Amino acid sequence: MSEEPIPRARLQALRLDWLDDAGVEVGLLRLDEVDPLLSGNKRYKLHGYLRQREATGAPGLISLGGPHSNHLHALAAAGRRHGFATVGLLRGEPRTTPTVADLEAFGMRLHWLGYGGYRARHQPGFWRVWQRRYPGFACVPEGGGGLTGALGCAPLVAQVQAQLPGFGWPDHHGWWLAVGTGTTLAGLVIGEDGRRPVYGALAGPVTHGVGAQVARLLDEHGRPDEGYRLVPAARRGFGRADDELLAFMADTERAARIPLEPVYTAKALLALREEIARGRFAAGTRLIVVHTGGLQGRRALAGEAGALR
């Protein structure tokens, strides 16, 4: 599959009252549509890691995440589809969520690390233990992060540029997307190479060091730490959905006929509405908003009273 080219995502005009009122045009980049299982930005962030695995002949890939992780879901699906082993290191105590049930069904070997054990993931030697246990397996950073993950997202810039004439836009003025680790945003900043700004709506608290992480990725790629802005959007915290957010998500899904989920995509759109209300984007602005996918994660919403942690 890694032989497959990076899939081309469709641009769709997003028409909503509050965008029309402000005279802001949005082209929604539907990464959620590119693959039923390796969906959203995960397909792009995993691309380089899947290629490397194929090139090195590693028997499998190990990564880590929470019990709703879109990243582990995509990784496990890739392993199942392309016949390599996958190992998932999970945050917290053993529990069943729709995501975890899928990971098991895809054949991923799961290890629950507890909360303390998961916090130790940044310590030197953490990966050595798992590489000893699974000889030859390669490790994929949390969330498909790292420069390899970011570089898988950079081609989206050229993809969008190529679609603009058919979309009826002479050009656009920047990007808007949800940010978790900042990997996807860093990839777009690299792809833009200083041409247009990338605005990132932070799904988690501002204190989580995402800015430093983006700066590190850009530095590793030899680029200055500029060309983007991070906008607070976490509301009640990462993975927490309040009533206003859920109502906004339902209204937007109905009005635009698009599927959303509360952790990333609905939060990012609500943050965009708030930025527009603050007058941050002038009438006539044309923005590319990235639908980063994550729809598998919304299955848990009904059962967990809006807290997907």
Ligand X SMILES: Cc1ncc(COP(=O)(O)O)c(C=O)c1O
Residues lying near ligand X in the complex (CB under 6 A): 40-41, 70-71, 143, 178-185, 264, 292-294
* Phi and psi at residue 148, to the nearest 5°: -60, -40
The smaller minimum CB distance to ligand X, of residues 33 and 164, is found at 33
Instruction: Give least dist CB 21 to ligand X, A.
Output: 27
Q: How many whole angstroms separate alpha carbon 45 and alpha carbon 95?
A: 27
Angle between helices 41-56 and 183-192 (to 10 degrees): 90
Instruction: Give least dist CB 223 to ligand X, A.
Output: 17
For residue 240, the 8-state DSSP code is: B
Structure tokens at 255: 């009005």
The smaller minimum CB distance to ligand X, of residues 22 and 262, is found at 262
Q: How many whole angstroms separate alpha carbon 282 and alpha carbon 285?
A: 6
The residue sitting closest to ligand X, measured at its beta carbon, is 294
For residue 56, the 8-state DSSP code is: H
Instruction: Give least dist CB 25 to ligand X, A.
Output: 22
Instruction: Give least dist CB 141 to ligand X, A.
Output: 10
The smaller minimum CB distance to ligand X, of residues 199 and 264, is found at 264
Three-state SS string over 157-213 comes to HHHHHHHHHHHCCCCCCEEEEEECCCHHHHHHHHHHCCCCCEEEEECCCHHHCHHHH
The smaller minimum CB distance to ligand X, of residues 183 and 252, is found at 183
The smaller minimum CB distance to ligand X, of residues 22 and 50, is found at 50
Q: How many whole angstroms separate alpha carbon 7 and alpha carbon 51?
A: 14
CA 137 to chain centroid: 24
The smaller minimum CB distance to ligand X, of residues 71 and 80, is found at 71
The smaller minimum CB distance to ligand X, of residues 68 and 80, is found at 68
Strands (E), 43-196: 60-65, 85-90, 109-112, 138-139, 174-179
Instruction: Give least dist CB 279 to ligand X, A.
Output: 26
Instruction: Give least dist CB 169 to ligand X, A.
Output: 24
Neighbours of 132 (CB within 10 A): 8
Instruction: Give least dist CB 290 to ligand X, A.
Output: 8
